[in-house]
Amino acid sequence: MKRNKFLKKSLFGIFAGLSFSSLSKSKIKRNIGFNHMPNLENTSVNTVIHRANTRNSADFGWLKVNHTFSFANYYNPERMNFGVLRVLNDDVIAAGKGFDTHPHKNMEIITIPLEGKLRHKDDMGNEGIISDTDIQVMSAGKGVYHSEFNADENKEVKVLQIWLHPNKTHVEPRYQQISLNDIYIKNDFFQILSPEKNDQGVWIHQNSWFYIGDFDLLKNINYTIKDAKNGIYCFVIEGEATLDGNKLSKRDAIGIWNTDSVNISTTNGTKILLMEVPMQV
């Protein structure tokens, strides 16, 4: 019991450090980009593949984590980010457990529960449940404190947490949560995030667009990049997919840049999170 409590406190300190100090402006400039991501599976000079089994995994008892990029006590200089995409954590939180109140600053934080429910509370006065049909975003800006706990006392919650470097710093912190049921489309990609307040989905302080595709049939889709300065990072949540000739399985991911479009082929049971993000700050 004492060990778990110590681990939780240690993690909170590291998380806070990532947000407040270690991601200083000078360090961001060193880390942003893609040349530091060599990969033997590259099929072209503008592609990087991150297989599920190459992620960092850890089991703290109350929390099981899979880190695509360096995070907390996991550091890999070749896995720092994909453009402004800094964090992609695939977490499993035990029943009734969670993250006590901790700080963030100057980061766009997106939470997408895959199974179960999270209980959220922050110092902006927001409190409530985020379910597996919702998406939540916090623009941490000049500073915010929040906590997240599994809202169920009997089963785990599975959640993706994503951090993006913002295109402006020290903004007033903000919170937004919507139901994806209202915009869900089967067998096609539907937009869940954008830079525009009045566009579909949630919005953030960054020139980025996120889509989810949930397929139960074979389909071929050509995704056109919205901004020439952007790349796309696709994370296969379930099933299998082929992107520009690269076959991916569950929890595999691929990043592609310096391209106008990407071809995506799906199968029955494919679910994909597609993230278009700037490659430079």
Q: What is the pLDDT of residue 29?
A: 37
pLDDT of the residue at 124? 95
DSSP letters, 52-113, are GGGSEEEE-SSEEEEESS-BTTB--TT-S-BTTEEEEEEEEE-TT-EEEEEEE-S-EEEEEE
HSE value, Cβ hemisphere, 13 Å, CA-based, for 203? 7
Task: Decide if 201 contacts 191 (C-beta within 8 A).
Answer: yes
Q: For strand 202-203 and strand 189-194, is the pairing parallel, antiparallel, or unpaired?
A: parallel
Say which CATH number the domain at 137 has: 2.60.120.10
Residue 130 structural domain: 2-278
| Residue 5: partners with Cβ closer than 8 Å, 6 or more residues away | none
Per-residue pLDDT 10s for the chain (281 aa) are 444 443 444 444 444 434 433 333 333 333 334 444 444 455 557 999 999 999 999 999 999 999 999 999 999 999 999 999 999 999 999 999 999 999 999 999 999 999 999 999 999 999 999 999 999 999 999 999 999 999 999 999 999 999 999 999 999 999 999 999 999 999 999 999 999 999 999 999 999 999 999 999 999 999 999 999 999 999 999 999 999 999 999 999 999 999 999 999 999 999 999 999 999 87
Q: Tell me how many domains the chain contains.
A: 1
Query: What is the distance between the terminal CA atoms of the chain, rounded to a whole angstrom?
Result: 42
Pairing of strands 209-215, 230-238: unpaired
Residue 231 to residue 17: CA distance in whole angstroms: 28
List residues bridging with 139 in a β-sheet.
Answer: 108, 174
The Cα 241–Cα 250 span in angstroms is 9
Q: So what's the pLDDT on residue 84?
A: 97
Is 233 within 8 Å of 85 (Cβ atoms)?
yes
What's the pLDDT score for residue 37? 45
Residue 26 pLDDT = 34
pTM of the model: 0.87
CA 28 to chain centre: 18
Closest by Cα among 167, 139, 136 to 279: 167
